[in-house]
Amino acid sequence: MADFDAIVIGSGMSGGWAAKELCEWGLKVLVLERGQDIDPAKDYSDMTLLWERPHLDQIPEDEIRDKYTIQYGTASYAMSDSSKFLWVDERDQPYETPKDRPFNWVRGYHVGGKSLLWSRQTYRWCPQDFENNKLDGHGVDWPIRYEDLAPWYDHVEEFAGISGSLEGIAQLPDGKFLRPFELTAGEQHFRDKVEKAFPTRKVIPGRCAHLRETREVHTSLGRSQCQVRNHCHHGCTFGAYFSSVSATLPAARRTGNMTLISNAVAQSLDYDPASGRVTGVNVVDAITRAGGRHTAKMVFLCAGTLPSAMILLNSRSEKFPTGLANSSDQVGRNVMDHVTGASARGVLPGLLDRYYYGRRPDGIYIPRYANFTERDKPYLRGFGFQGGVGRRGWTADRPGVGKDFKEANRSPGPWIASIGAFGECLPNPDNRIRLHETRKDAWALPVAVINCAWGPNEIAIAQAAAQDARDMLRAAGATDIKMFDIPGPPGNAIHEMGTARMGRDPGTSVLNGWNQAHDVKNLFVTDGACMASTACQNPSLTYMAITARAASHAANLLREGQV
């Protein structure tokens, strides 16, 4: 007799949604979270005033060196002394890469996972994004199309609360939006100039998971309107941005159907060859290191793109000697991320009598145009830009001292425009994660060996995107333009995907069109591991929609006795 109807491994973006949906379908659900529990009242630091934060809230340099070297190189914008506990101590879970193929692995192990760390940009994919693999032959064909996911995008957007503007852009479908964070004067100027110079391109307000206004579905969970503080990476006491902690887990909890165990590090899944099913999840306590086992009728694996693959690879049996659900040999392969680093910034003259009020947790977005509205590109797929145009604030990085220096900082500087690309990454089976044969982490689990590098298409995208960014700034009249075209290492976008991809053919993919393992009918994987391609949009909204869809299907299967 199983302990639960379902076990959800991971409580982040995908795990929170799996828990909510399955609980609301009436299932008894156990959520296993490898990190600590989060109490917003105790753990969030967003209500601390600017002048109440010791040493400018910067993490001590020695601590960065010892614990956060890699993550700080990627996510220093989000890391502070008062919230550093939300980031993994890299000594606890080291990993290896070839020396010439770095991978920046950013992790947050706690209830809520990276839903407490994300930058909350939320974009739908468009129909073409689900067709590109088939059209250009890279990767495997997605087993679903936009139409399959569209109602689930609606579903998750209404619950999460997405701020955005209705634009009617084919390559970036509109959704169920709350009102947008409007453009600054500088951004309006930038938009007008860019859209005039490049009629195939659009500049729109960013779409983000913030409650610009509230609905009953939000307030019933204790969430309230965004206060425009931009303290998001300290946690949000108002619950104004979407996270598992503010939204999905409370929704799951109020059903009375959820049990959540924190500090439970999932180690492996047990497989019963007689029934062809997963029968249990083996865990180790993160604090005591004690082992344990939990059972359920089905498992939703939502530990994160790399950890989910590691759990599968660590679940070996006679039937699956290279890892559970790995008859295709695709588990751990096709590691993808968005290529970043292509950007430009410059100074926009004028508009010095205009300003703004509030610290907007959002910016502008330039949807993909390459190989969509512009077909003349020497590379495949495309990229979108995120950025903003704001006034330079006070600065000490200029000559001058005394009263004049002080006086000069009383007025803001010119408008600074900055845009950076997120480019699509092609699936490549040689980009992979595997388990080290001997080396173990703090929980005696094999450490990861990640071998991943950009291919020529990603390099070409980065170079083209940088030049396009420069050209758009020129078109906007910017001066002192600086262009950057060297891609950051994979992992830098913190959009890792693809290690247990969906597909139509069990011989070349791990999951079917319902995120159900081809090999194991009561195993579902709905985090970034399931992605067969990356598109160029930030992926979290798609994880949410895919998870909700899979959970609905799984609940039906359970009801019908088919899992």
Summarize as ranges the residues that interact with other proteins (CB under 8 A).
49-56, 58, 60-62, 65, 181-185, 188, 212, 227-229, 352-360, 393-394, 396-403, 405-407, 409-412
Structure tokens belonging to residue 5? 């109807």
Which lies closer to other proteins via its Cβ, residue 197 or residue 352?
352
Give the CA angle between residues 427, 429, 431 to the nearest 5°: 85
Tell the smallest beta-carbon distance from residue 261 to other proteins (Å): 35
Q: What angle do CA 546, 549, 552 make, to 5 degrees?
A: 150
Position 203, amino acid: V
Residue (73 or 455) nearer to other proteins, CB: 73
In the complex, least distance from residue 182 CB atom to other proteins, rounded to whole angstroms: 4
Tell me how far, at minimum, the Cβ of 255 lies from other proteins, in Å. Answer: 33
Q: Is 215 exposed, middle or buried (0-12, 13-18, 19+ CB in 10 A)?
A: middle
Q: What are phi and psi of 445, to 5 degrees?
A: -100, 145
Closest approach of other proteins to the CB of residue 361, in Å: 9
Question: Locate tokens 């799996």: which residue?
Answer: 18
Give the nearest distance from C-beta 231 to other proteins in angstroms: 9
CA dist., res. 410 & res. 426, Å (int): 48
Q: Which residue has the tokens 């989910």?
A: 308
On whether the CB atoms of residues 247 and 217 are closer than 8 A, the answer is: no
By beta-carbon proximity to other proteins, the closer residue of 185 and 551 is 185
Q: Which residues of 57-89 are buried (b: 16+ CB within 10 A; e: fewer)?
A: bebeeeebeebbebbbbbbeebbbbbbbebbbb
DSSP-H helix ranges across 204-244: 216-219
**What angle do helix axes 540-559 and 146-160 make, rounded to 10 degrees?**
100
Distance CA 259, CA 253 (A): 8
Which residues make Cβ contacts (< 8 Å) with residue 286, sequence separation at least 6?
34, 35, 36, 263, 264, 265, 443
Measured from the CB atom, is 81 or 154 closer to other proteins?
A: 81
The CB-of-461 to other proteins minimum distance in angstroms stands at 25
Widest distance between CA atoms in the chain? 82
Nearer to other proteins, 163 or 526 (CB): 163
Comparing CB distances to other proteins, the nearer of 18 and 162 is 162
In the complex with other proteins, the residue whose CB is nearer, 359 or 440, is: 359
Cα 55 to Cα 81: distance, rounded to the nearest angstrom: 9
Query: Least CB distance from residue 415 to other proteins, whole Å?
Result: 12
CB 97 within 8 A of CB 450: yes
CB-CB contact of 526 with 514 (8 Å)? no
Q: How far is the CB of 553 from other proteins (least distance, A)?
A: 39
Supply the minimum distance, in Å, between the C-beta of residue 196 and other proteins: 19
CB of 423 to other proteins, least distance (A): 25
Nearer to other proteins, 28 or 212 (CB): 212
Asked if 301 and 527 count as a contact pair (C-beta separation under 8 A), the reply is: yes
Q: How far is the C-alpha of 303 from the C-alpha of 447, rounded, in Å?
A: 15
**Nearest distance, CB of residue 240 and other proteins, angstroms:** 11
Q: Which is nearer to other proteins, 232 or 260 (CB)?
A: 232
Nearer to other proteins, 39 or 182 (CB): 182
Per residue, what are the HEC states of 110-154?
ECCHHHHCCCCECCCCCHHHHCHHHHHCCCCCCCCCHHHHHHHHH
451 burial type by CB count under 10 A (0-12 exposed, 13-18 middle, 19+ buried): middle
Nearer to other proteins, 79 or 426 (CB): 79
Taking the least distance from each CB to other proteins, the nearer of 183 and 302 is 183
What does the alpha-carbon distance between residue 80 and residue 65 come to, in Å, rounded to a whole number?
14
User: Smallest distance, Å, CB 55 to other proteins?
Assistant: 4
